[in-house]
Amino acid sequence: MPTDVNTDNVEKVIFDGLVELGTERDELSREASLEDLDVDSLDLVELAQIVEDEFGVELRGDDVKDVKTVGEVIDLVVAKAG
Amino acid sequence: MTRRVVITGVGAITPLGVGAKPLIERWSAGECGIADGFGRALEFDPLDFLSKKETRRMDRFAQMGVAAAREAIGQAFGEEGELPYEAHRVGCVIGTGIGGLPSLEENQQKLIERGEKAVSPLAVPLMMGNAAAAAVAMRHDLHGHCYGVVSACAAGAHALGDASRIIRAGDADAVVTGGTEAAISGVAVAAFGAMEATSPTGISRPFDARRDGFVMGEGAGILVLEEKEAAEARGAEILGELLGYGATCDGYHLTAPQPEGTEAARAISLAVADAGLTAVDVDYVNAHGTSTPLNDRSETMALKLALGERAADIPVSSTKSAIGHLLGAAGAVEAIATVEALRARTAPPTVGWEEAEEGLDLDYVPGTAKPIENGEGPLVGISNSFGFGGHNAVLCLAA
């Protein structure tokens, strides 16, 4: 049963996912830029797998190609679920 | 004018520890890094060398390759690793037997249990056999020839041979080269066991009458090779010279060596001739010496065939008695061990050798290390590597 998609839940899953992928937790915020966090295209594909496992929301490469910040990733997942 | 190839840096991760120094010192002291039937590099922690993210993006074999490369490059070019040559004049050629097998197994399991969507996007870059070469090149900004070499247990020696040819041909001034392997995992352990290649007793005792198969090991050996004049011009400390290289193929059997060692002998002769030397110039042999009944017999015959009477007069020892068989890393780790043995003018022992077998009558250096004797000048050694598929790669080294 997928987890309920709301901003708080998605933020937690994305933050935890980025830490799992090697980002330092104290560098994470909604405003943090993916480039500054050294989050690249491979990380985004892995993050998309985590999101799909958790929420049943499918993200493709095209969906995330223009995303610049952590907050934008969170908003995108919430919007896709809606 | 022939371009010559010298060694200016070495790095190793082995069951005897992290670094080339514990490898040669502990082996020379007769120590053995094998435990519970495997030669695991227990002291290696990837997080000592890589960030958490880098660690996730490399299989263990690539992690070890990067760690050994850091040691070798640090020794050759200084701790900052600043290249003394233009980046496109520095290559990176690293061998492996199988590449990221644990990553392949892990993702295969996910595929079976949870379907295609569970397979990691990192699976291919983790398991590809060229991953270590790519990771080292990316980390040290090397832009010359760069690829992996895959020839089973001869891969490390083939990589060094290729690297020396690249320098000799003038395509590079330096090449970071060697071999790395971390395949002590489900399928490989089961498969080597199924073909009865590995030791059921878990003991590596090359050339001993009681030998019953090889012991799987893991680790990496990386060397920095440079064109001799360029290395001398920049004042580099020269550890040794890669004088010659010989490579042949048995064309005989998928796994068994050609019993008389004819093609292995030809590879030895080619390496010695490539060095501009003859059999009487060879002072030490670092044998392939796997501890399998077949290899150690055919290798002994090959040494006699190639070196004639000289074979009986010089020490012949096997690093695998101390660390097990590092497969695609073996040739590179053993080349490092050979150079260090020549530098110390001491042949480390074939650890655990006690019982002679008829026909296996060379000086396998039983018990303790012994001096390599031949005047005061540089000593010459050969390092043999033979792989499943009948691949024979032999390096002739001096120090």
pLDDT tens, residue by residue, B133-181: 999 999 999 999 999 999 999 999 999 999 999 999 999 999 999 999 9
If you ran DSSP here, which 8-state letter would residue B166 be given? Answer: H
B215 and B349 fall within a common domain: no
Per-residue model confidence (pLDDT) at position A63: 87
Per-residue model confidence (pLDDT) at position B195: 95
Q: Return d(Cα A72, Cα A49) in angstroms, integer.
A: 17
Q: Are B286 and B318 in contact (CB under 8 A)?
A: yes
B201 and B260 fall within a common domain: no
A22 interfacial to chain B (CB closer than 8 Å)? yes
H-run or E-run covering B5: strand B5-14
What angle separates helix A7-20 from helix A70-81, to the nearest 10 degrees?
A: 130
Domain count, chain A: 1
Question: Six-digit token pair at B306?
Answer: 């190639």
Domain-embedded: residue A2:
no
A52 interfacial to chain B (CB closer than 8 Å)? yes
Q: Return d(Cα A7, Cα B336) in angstroms, integer.
A: 56
Per-residue model confidence (pLDDT) at position A1: 56
Domain boundary among B218, B240, B262: B240
Q: Is B37 left (phi over 0), alpha (psi -120 to 50) or beta?
A: left
Domain-embedded: residue A17:
yes
Q: Measured between CB atoms, which of A22, A46, A52 is closest to B120? A: A46
The percentage of chain B sitting over the pLDDT mark of 90, rounded to a whole number, equals 98
Q: Which of A8, A40, A53, A62 is catalytic?
A: A40
Q: Which residues contact residue B324 at a Cβ distance below 8 angstroms, ignoring those fewer than 6 apart?
A: B15, B33, B34, B38, B39, B204, B214, B215, B216, B217
Domain-embedded: residue A43:
yes
Q: Return d(Cα A75, Cα A57) in angstroms, integer.
A: 12
Per-residue model confidence (pLDDT) at position A60: 87
B252 and B227 fall within a common domain: no
Q: Are B147 and B158 in contact (CB under 8 A)?
A: no
B258 and B134 fall within a common domain: no
H-run or E-run covering B163: helix B155-168
In the predicted model, what is the mean pLDDT of chain A? 92
If you ran DSSP here, which 8-state letter would residue B39 be given? Answer: B
Distance of CA B108 to the CA centre of its chain: 29
Confidence at A2, pLDDT banded by 50, 70, 90: low
Q: Do B53 and A38 lie within an 8 Å CB cutoff?
A: yes
Domain-embedded: residue A29:
yes
Q: Measured between CB atoms, which of B53, B117, B121 is closest to A22? A: B53
B109 and B258 fall within a common domain: no
Q: Return d(Cα B70, Cα A15) in angstroms, integer.
A: 32
Question: Six-digit token pair at B134?
Answer: 């790519």
Per the annotation, the verdict on A8 as an active-site residue is no
Q: Are B92 and B146 in contact (CB under 8 A)?
A: yes
> Is the torsion defined by CA of A49, A54, A60, A62 positive or negative?
negative
At CA B286, angle to CA B329 and CA B63, rounded to 5?
Answer: 15
B59 and B182 fall within a common domain: yes
Q: Measured between CB atoms, which of B52, B117, B118 is closest to A22? A: B52
Domain count, chain B: 2
Q: Which residue of B has its CA nearest to A58?
A: B117
B233 and B253 fall within a common domain: no
B252 and B394 fall within a common domain: yes
B86 and B184 fall within a common domain: yes
- CB count in 10 Å sphere of residue B359: 9
Q: Is B198 helix (H, G, I), strand (E, B) or coil?
A: strand
At CA B52, angle to CA B49 and CA B58, rounded to 5?
Answer: 75
At CA A68, angle to CA A63 and CA A70, rounded to 5?
Answer: 90
Domain boundary among B205, B225, B240: B240
Domain boundary among B240, B275, B303: B240
Q: Which residues on neighbouring strands pair with residue B178, listed in sequence order?
A: B94, B222
Per-residue model confidence (pLDDT) at position A72: 96
B292 and B147 fall within a common domain: no
Q: What is the CATH number of the domain that holds B67?
A: 3.40.47.10
B86 and B189 fall within a common domain: yes
Q: Is B382 left (phi over 0), alpha (psi -120 to 50) or beta?
A: beta
Q: Is B73 helix (H, G, I), strand (E, B) or coil?
A: helix
Judging contacts by C-beta atoms under 8 Å, the chain A residues touching residue B53 are 21-23, 38
Domain-embedded: residue A24:
yes
Q: What is the CATH number of the domain that holds A13?
A: 1.10.1200.10
Per the listing, tokens 């104290």 go with A26
Reply yes or no on whether the pLDDT at A3 is more than 80.
no
A78 interfacial to chain B (CB closer than 8 Å)? no
* Residue B192 belongs to domain spanning: 5-240
Q: How many CA atoms lie within 13 A of B338 on its CB side?
A: 36
pLDDT (tens digit, 9 = 90+) per residue, B345-385?
Answer: 999 999 999 999 999 999 999 999 999 999 899 999 999 99
Q: Return d(Cα B138, Cα B235) in angstroms, integer.
A: 26
Q: Which residues contact residue A15 at a Cβ distance below 8 angstroms, ignoring those fewer than 6 apart?
A: A25, A28, A70
Q: Is A80 helix (H, G, I), strand (E, B) or coil?
A: helix
B311 and B171 fall within a common domain: no
Residues in chain A: 82
Nearest to B62 by CA among B136, B5, B1: B136
- CB count in 10 Å sphere of residue B133: 30
Domain-embedded: residue A23:
yes
Per-residue model confidence (pLDDT) at position A65: 85
Domain-embedded: residue A66:
yes
Considering the entire predicted model, what is its pTM? Answer: 0.96
Q: Return d(Cα B328, Cα A76) in angstroms, integer.
A: 46
| ipTM summary value | 0.88
Question: Six-digit token pair at B235?
Answer: 């004042």
Q: How many CB pairs under 8 A join A and B?
A: 23
Q: Is B315 helix (H, G, I), strand (E, B) or coil?
A: strand
Q: Which residues of chain B have pLDDT under 70?
A: 1
H-run or E-run covering B17: strand B17-18
Q: What is the DSSP string of A11-66?
A: HHHHHHHHHHTT--GGG--SS-BTTTTT--HHHHHHHHHHHHHHH-----HHHHTT
Q: Are B182 and B99 in contact (CB under 8 A)?
A: no
Per-residue model confidence (pLDDT) at position A4: 81
Judging contacts by C-beta atoms under 8 Å, the chain B residues touching residue A42 are 57, 121-122, 125
Judging contacts by C-beta atoms under 8 Å, the chain A residues touching residue B121 are 42, 45-46, 49
Q: Are B96 and B61 in contact (CB under 8 A)?
A: yes
Q: Are B136 and B311 in contact (CB under 8 A)?
A: no
* Residue A69 belongs to domain spanning: 7-81
